[in-house]
Chain A
Amino acid sequence: MENIILISLLFYLASFASYIKSIINKRELNFYGQFTLWIAFILHTSYFVLKYSKEGCFSVNSIVNALPFYAWMLVFLTGVITLKYKVKTLNFILLPIAMILLVVKIFLKEVQPQEIYFSNLWLLVHTTLTFLGYAGFTAGFVCAILYLWQERKIKKHASDILSSKTVPALQIVDNLGYQSIKIGFLFLTGGMIVGAFWLGNLEGVYWSGSFKEIFSVITWFTYAILLHLHIFGFFRGKKIAWIIIASFVFMIFSFIGINLLFPTNFHN
């Protein structure tokens, strides 16, 4: 079944190659690029379906197993953004991130889950919401990088600033990043609440005080502060972009770093 991930990765690669070509030629993504992307996404989705039907439980049950799901969310989000905002460049950066996650998954050994914890609906909802949140923050992070890159060019009066139409306007990237984080924040909040209830159901307490929980709450607060700074207009533009990048680093740490540092942790 792991071969499905590999084949799907190959199709993502083929599609990404078309993306590069389309950006170099300043054209729209061709049929071949779109077709391979769809195939890759369908294969990627079928991986979860097959795994569920075989194991009878949702497969996001360890850090390694969670990676394909995170990647799937990113591709899903990429599709939504492309359809809604017609922003090509974001895909250009989000797709490789998804591909790297799949490569890591292929090379790392699968961890056997503790059945007692993972065979239920709570997990499905908790992880889906949390990963939707992570996907939103990742899109926000990519927008922040695009923003800083473009802002610098505009400030420096780069003569080729108008030549590349593939990067959306500064304010659009800014707004897209903000919207992604807003949506990500809502999902993360939902994911954390469901997680707390799940724990309450399982062990009778809503807070176990694990590092994962502590850092998740810190991440949640970082994004909450960021959103408020933006809403009240204290910070805008470059400063917000840097805070988004810092928050993302925090998010990655609470998602992956904690699990690697404390392998005995409940979440691992």
Chain B
Amino acid sequence: MNPNIMVFGVNHKTAPVEIREKFSIQEDKLIYFLEKIKSEVSLGECVVLSTCNRAEIYCTTLDLNDTIKKTKQFFSEVGKLDIAELEKIFFYHSIPYSVEHLFKVTSGLDSMVIGENEVLGQVKKAYSIAQANKFTSKYLNVLFQNAIGAGKYVRANTGINKGALSLSSVAVDMAERIFGELIGKKVMVIGAGEMSELALKYLQERGVEKVYIANRTISRADELAQKFNGESVGFEDKFVKIREIDIVISSTSAQNYIIHKSDIKTIMPLRKYRPIFFIDLAVPRDIDEEVNKIENVYLYNIDDLQKIVNENIADREQELEKANSIIKERVGKFIQWFNKSPIPPLLKGD
């Protein structure tokens, strides 16, 4: 008899984070966990995928019903939940749905943020640990190699992972749309909020040269400047500094505009009309929208960025159909191979 390939566990679709975290497995305890589940539930091959969004076990088994019963028992012990509670959040699939599930996971179609890339690396790692410690053999080796390949193929051939989905990363993408490469560019942050800090982090990752922080509380400016290896600027001196800046991120808690059209109009000839990009992350807004009317000045506020985020989400959703058809085809090929493949000697004796 051919074994069945199963997946079971909890993930972000079935359980909230406060439940999921009960099943979180540290990397250094993964091998111990694999050994334990393999012996207690009597599984064939086995891979454990534990991320912040999922705790899933992929395995081969000869007795489906027995495995389901035993894994529920095992999970209730690990999560310290009674069986009735576990039933509400526990999921399992057998072939072909288990295969399809893994292909969707590696492709980012099962993720909270559609098309995210991190999960592919997490699957690769989970698989390589299991493989290195001989928890996988013929079936799961072929399955995982195919699923990882499908994940790569879907990303390369659809737009599923294209387009940033957070305001800060869209702001950075916009900066690249205006300037091209950000290497050598200078950034100034006015008002040291959490979101501007995140944008600053992304900007630095893309190679901006120098970071300036202008904040009413100078100690906070110094703190942030230190964190980003930048320089703090007196709040009143911001307009002098803006002359040499390419990107300005503003997120103060001021109730009125702190940057007006006239301020920037005077600065532009002094910077020889070099383009400047203002990102206004504040609510209420910091920068008068009239600033956008000045030539070579570009201003985006929270709503403008959100509009792009929404467009990107819609774009990804449009790519879903294409991604799903690639997965369907690849799952079909795997199942075909699976049905034809002779039973490996190890499982014959089980």
Q: Mark A144-167, 1 if CB is under 8 A from B, else 0.
A: 000000000011010111110000
**A172 CA / B181 CA spacing, docked (Å):** 9
Nearest residue in B to A232 (C-beta to C-beta)? B272
Asked, given contacts A162-B174, A163-B163, A171-B178, whether A237 binds B307 with beta carbons under 8 Å apart, the answer is no
Interface core residue of B163, B164, B178, B179 (most chain A CB under 10 Å) = B178
A170 within 8 A of B: yes
Asked, given contacts A154-B177, A168-B180, A169-B176, whether A163 binds B275 with beta carbons under 8 Å apart, the answer is no
Q: Are B177 and A162 interface neighbours, CB within 8 A?
A: yes
Q: How far is the CB of B338 from chain A (nearest CB, A)?
A: 32
A221 within 8 A of B: no
Which residues of chain B come closer than 8 Å to A238, judged between CB atoms?
295-296
Q: How far is the CB of B186 from chain A (nearest CB, A)?
A: 14
Q: Are A239 and B295 interface neighbours, CB within 8 A?
A: yes
Residue among B274, B275, B308 making CB contact with A161, cutoff 8 Å: B308
Which residues of chain A come closer than 8 Å to B170, judged between CB atoms?
162
Q: Mark B158-184, 1 if CB is under 8 A from A, else 0.
A: 010001100000100110111110000
Q: Are A162 and B272 interface neighbours, CB within 8 A?
A: no
A233 within 8 A of B: yes
B312 within 8 A of A: yes
Residue among A163, A232, A236 making CB contact with B311, cutoff 8 Å: A163
Q: Are B179 and A169 interface neighbours, CB within 8 A?
A: yes
Nearest residue in A to B268 (C-beta to C-beta)? A236
Q: How far is the CB of B181 from chain A (nearest CB, A)?
A: 8
**A162 CA / B274 CA spacing, docked (Å):** 22
A235 within 8 A of B: yes
Interface core residue of A26, A155, A171 (most chain B CB under 10 Å) = A171
Which residues of chain A come closer than 8 Å to B231, judged between CB atoms?
none
Question: What's the A-B contact tally at a CB cutoff of 8 Å?
Answer: 65
Asked, given contacts A155-B298, A163-B315, whether A236 binds B180 with beta carbons under 8 Å apart, the answer is no
Nearest residue in B to A174 (C-beta to C-beta)? B275
Q: Are B273 and A159 interface neighbours, CB within 8 A?
A: no
Q: Are A162 and B295 interface neighbours, CB within 8 A?
A: no
Using a Cβ–Cβ cut-off of 8 Å, how many residues does chain A contribute to the interface with B?
21
Q: Mark A235-256, 1 if CB is under 8 A from B, else 0.
A: 1111100000000000000000
Q: How far is the CB of B106 from chain A (nearest CB, A)?
A: 22
Asked, given contacts A26-B159, A162-B170, whether A154 binds B178 with beta carbons under 8 Å apart, the answer is yes
**A221 CA / B315 CA spacing, docked (Å):** 47
Is chain A's interface secondary structure helix, strand, loop, or mixed overall? loop
Which residues of chain B come closer than 8 Å to A239, judged between CB atoms?
295
Q: Are A161 and B310 interface neighbours, CB within 8 A?
A: no
Q: Are B180 and A169 interface neighbours, CB within 8 A?
A: yes
Which residues of chain A come closer than 8 Å to B179, judged between CB atoms?
169-171
Residue among A154, A160, A235 making CB contact with B298, cutoff 8 Å: A154
Q: Are A161 and B177 interface neighbours, CB within 8 A?
A: yes
**A163 CA / B312 CA spacing, docked (Å):** 7
Nearest residue in B to A237 (C-beta to C-beta)? B296
Which residues of chain B come closer than 8 Å to A162, judged between CB atoms?
163-164, 170, 173-174, 177, 308, 311-312
B235 within 8 A of A: no
Nearest residue in A to B180 (C-beta to C-beta)? A169
Which residues of chain A come closer than 8 Å to B178, judged between CB atoms?
154, 169-171
Q: Are A159 and B311 interface neighbours, CB within 8 A?
A: yes
Q: Are B304 and A236 interface neighbours, CB within 8 A?
A: no
Q: Are B295 and A159 interface neighbours, CB within 8 A?
A: no
Q: Are A155 and B272 interface neighbours, CB within 8 A?
A: no
B228 within 8 A of A: no
Q: Are B274 and A236 interface neighbours, CB within 8 A?
A: yes
**A155 CA / B272 CA spacing, docked (Å):** 20
9 pairs across A/B with beta carbons < 8 Å? Answer: A154-B174, A154-B177, A159-B311, A161-B174, A170-B177, A170-B179, A232-B272, A233-B272, A236-B272
Interface contacts beyond A154-B298, A162-B311, A171-B179: sample of 19 additional A-B pairs, CB < 8 Å, sorted by A: A26-B159, A154-B178, A157-B300, A159-B307, A159-B311, A161-B174, A162-B164, A162-B308, A163-B163, A163-B312, A170-B177, A170-B178, A170-B179, A171-B178, A171-B180, A233-B273, A237-B296, A238-B296, A239-B295
A-B pairs, top 6 by smallest CB distance, nearest first, are A233-B272, A169-B180, A236-B273, A159-B311, A172-B180, A157-B304
